[in-house]
Structure 1
């Protein structure tokens, strides 16, 4: 097995740059290029498309890269476990959606770190729906429930309702829900490859009201949409448990008790083989227990 060539492919593939890959390995760019060429010759397939302005993985490269990354990670974990060198083992890499990270997960991770200071955690965040494209050990994903090859643990079911600033609620006092929504701008949270009005459309159907769901501003994250609502820009459809503190202290108002579950939730996902890592297994169990306690507190 051409380990040096695979390591070169790993370095270049993660960065999509021969220069950056060579720098990460502290070798020359020509040496990395030779390794990649030798690996491509061995496989009989091109791993990178070099024709454009940017380096792009081919279909074969996209198939090989995650397996190479995971394999090197498992070798490193095993060596650290054998040597007892846990202090120098790499951090747990976890991806968390931005709003969920800010509102819910960050205080919990801070608590975990206080209890287990020797376990290092690297957090990444983006507004992707479902699994991120970056390589991680664990990911909290916002998605509809579905089965895949990952170990999946339910954490949080989304419960949504229209929310706004207190000034907006006061101006519309006495209106029905349908009129209230029709008379004010709607604030949307964009989902990957979905129409901007998807979530408002689900809400309107469940509440059996007619609503033009294409109006208003759209944001990458729920946090931005709710911040816009608190500024008086319109009505956001928000997870009332995620923003419970803002509702409790009056910064955010829920004028109508029309709360629905729209089918989306937050799930913890990881590869089955990563459960052999004691740190990952501990962190997973700890998170599941904490979220189970939170759900009991919300009566759901």
Structure 2
């Protein structure tokens, strides 16, 4: 049966009745009479040749056929509503959905989102943060910004920026750190990357101490713990500029270790929309511009 043969009013009456399990309440929502809703549903049943509801003394109940039909109708109306909501001032508002590892979101992306919004006012950007564990297909994402080596199965990865890690701590704690070996006397806050501190001590020419104590699932929470004086955190320096400017965190040593880079990834099977291309281009151009800035060259 062709979709054009199914009246929209009948489908809407079915969906509302299925939610309320009542012709009367469905009629109140749709601002028509109970009889009109019942007539629409009966017409739909006649066209499909199945019974969608069992009529009960009080209300109705979905039949097996009605239960099979309902998810498709709900999804169709949801997509239609979402599409219509994208029109503003007679123009289409495009949507892209991006999953972002939380450290990159708070330390780099959020401070620049207003610039993106002003440059692309017709793009509705939806961000979902994570702790670097993400399923692009399962979560319905257009892009995922991740930390690692760029090798994720089934995805195309474009390099964004390096982010070497270095120790940070509260100012009061930093005053008792004169040389890297002094860190062995301090609490070293850890993440799920078990070898990060041992790799940093190797870069410093030292043997790593036995690590114990608190473990965190993101650099954001580790940084917060360090700012409160709980210990020393190993963090990507490029993403904690605000904390350093506000003197919440201090960088006691310049020694860095590369544990991974930031990448923007998408599924090989996902054809990029114009909005996706615009976001990716803006991201790459903004990062490149910062790397060319005099302040950044001076810091390096």
Q: Which residue does the alignment assign to 2:191?
A: 189
Is there any run of 5+ residues in structure 2 with no aligned partner, and where? 4-17, 20-51, 53-61, 71-78
CA change 1:215–1:94 in 2 (3 A) is same
The answer to whether structure 1 residue 95 and structure 2 residue 99 are counterparts is yes
What does residue 286 of structure 2 align with?
Answer: 290
- SS of the residue corresponding to residue 238 of structure 2 reads coil
The residue that corresponds to 1:252 in the other structure is 249
195, 210, 231: which one pairs with 1:234?
231
Are 2:192 and 2:216, in contact at CA under 8 Å, matched by a contact in 1?
Answer: yes
TM-score between the two structures when normalised by the length of structure 2: 0.65
The root-mean-square deviation of aligned C-alpha atoms, in Å, is 3.6
Distance 1:157 1:112 in 2: 22
Q: Deviations over 1:150-206 (max 9, x none)?
A: 222111211111111110011x243x312x221111111225xxxxx3211221222
State the partner residue of 1:122: 126
Contact 1:95 1:123 survives alignment (8 Å): yes
From the superposition, tell whether residues 185 and 275 of structure 1 become closer, same or farther in structure 2 (CA, over 3 Å): same
Q: Aligned ranges for residues 4-153 of structure 1 at < 5 Å?
A: 30-31=64-65, 34=68, 87=92, 89=94, 91-129=95-133, 131=135, 133-146=138-151, 148-153=153-158
Aligned to 1:177: 180
Per-residue deviation, 1:240: 1.0
Give matches, 1:258-277, under 5 Å: 258-262=255-259, 264-272=260-268, 274-277=270-273
Match of 1:200 in 2: 197
Cα distance, 1:121–1:183 mapped onto 2, change above 3 Å: same
Question: For 1:201, what is the secondary structure of its paired residue?
Answer: helix
Q: CA deviation at 1:86?
A: 6.1
1:216 and 2:213 matched: yes
Distance 1:109 1:248 in 2: 20
Matched with 2:32 is none
Is contact 1:131–1:141 with CA below 8 Å preserved after alignment?
no
What secondary structure sits across from 2:92 in the alignment?
Answer: helix
> Quick check: 1:164–1:229 contact (8 Å CA) kept in 2?
yes
Q: Tell me, yes or no, if the aligned pair for 2:192 and 2:215 is still in contact at 8 Å.
A: yes
Structure 1 unaligned segments of length 5 or more: list them: 4-21, 37-72, 192-196
Query: Does the Cα contact within 8 Å between 2:96 and 2:126 map onto a contact in 1?
Result: yes
Tell me if the contact between 1:129 and 1:142 (Cα under 8 Å) persists in the aligned partners.
Answer: no
Bigger mean CA offset, 244-253 vs 233-242: 244-253
Corresponding residue SS for 1:146 = coil
Aligned residues: 231
